[in-house]
Amino acid sequence: MGRTGSCFDNAAAESFFALLKEEISTRQWPHRASARAEIFAFIETFYNRKRLRRHPVWGYLTPLETWHRLEQDHALAA
């Protein structure tokens, strides 16, 4: 994340939080632990595993698939 108030410096963080706010909307949880658990589940089950990166550079893969491909490329290079 970059300078305070500059959406161009922290575009990735702004994009993530916009998606998170869209998904959880204005729900209220009974306590902080349940909110943390639900947000963690969203990040681990959808954001990192199922969401497609909508860009040809990433090959329209999920972040997890991109990570596995990167690990394979490093293993082949070693």
Distance CA 14, CA 21 (A): 10
Which residue bears the tokens 């998170």? 20
Residue with tokens 């947000």: 39
Distances (CA, A) of 41 to 5, 24, 36, 47: 29, 12, 8, 9
The burial of 10, by beta-carbon neighbours within 10 Å (0-12 exposed, 13-18 middle, 19 or more buried), is given as middle
**Predicted confidence (pLDDT) at residue 64 exceeds the cutoff of 90:** no
Q: How many Cβ atoms from other residues are within 10 Å of residue 22's Cβ?
A: 8
pLDDT in tens, 11-50: 777 788 888 888 777 778 899 998 899 888 888 877 767 7
